[in-house]
Amino acid sequence: MLTICLRFALCALWLLAPPAQAADITGKLRVIDGDTVDVGRTRVRLYGIDAPERGQPCTTLNGQNWACGDWVTRQVQDLFDGQRVRCVAKDTDRYGRVVAKCYAGDADIGARLVQDGLAYAYRKYAMDYDLDEKAALVAKRGIHGFTLQSPARYRLTRIKGRDAQDPNCAIKGNISAKGKRIYHMPGQKFYDRTGIQPAKGERWFCSEAQARASGWRPARR
């Protein structure tokens, strides 16, 4: 009888105990892009920020096209690549990545990137870095000194092949059999027969400037 009571008491304590917290993720950081990193063997999406995608173009204030997404990635690499970091998990996204706040020493990596104008505060999911972005915007730091689509809108154009909210995104970015990146404008000779296969890296563009900045050249006819 005593044994049964003891077992019952232990089970009750186990049921009433708070759930164990997930262990922090620690390890050497490797930058994938402006808001995605590998920590050890774990792919992490930085919580509360949204950075330009690799290859995402922007336009300088004097009208020059520039691959600012690649620039952002290089800046983040210079700041944090190879450092040992600690990440506190918040969630898991639809791609299976851990969404986490990461720290290099006492420095909040997400906060630093927003403060330096290398990422936006991702207000759709968190307001943690709202004031950091506003300060960077006023100072025109980093990406705030250029004209570019929001990363979320750019992803919609790239992943779905065409921005459903903008019917003007009709330029076809095709990759030839020889691997050449060529864009076709409506009205050109091969426009209608050119198909777009996003799985191969082909995509639609909303402007010639965007196509050129992303590495595509115009079709000759």
Task: Estimate to the nearest angstrom the gap between the alpha carbon of 34 and the chain centroid.
Answer: 6
Catalytic position from the list 41, 53, 181, 203? 53
Residue 25 β-bridge partners: 87
- How far is Cα 123 from Cα 47, in angstroms, rounded to an integer? 11
- The span from the first CA to the last CA of the chain, in angstroms, equals 91
Catalytic position from the list 45, 158, 162, 203? 45
Tokens of 143: 């990406």
CB of 197 closer than 8 Å to CB of 50? no
Verify whether residue 217 is a known catalytic residue: no
- How far is Cα 157 from Cα 162, in angstroms, rounded to an integer? 5
CA nearest neighbour of 79 among 108, 53, 49, 100: 108
Verify whether residue 112 is a known catalytic residue: no
Verify whether residue 97 is a known catalytic residue: yes
Catalytic position from the list 43, 54, 97, 141? 97
Tell me which residues are annotated as active site.
45, 53, 97
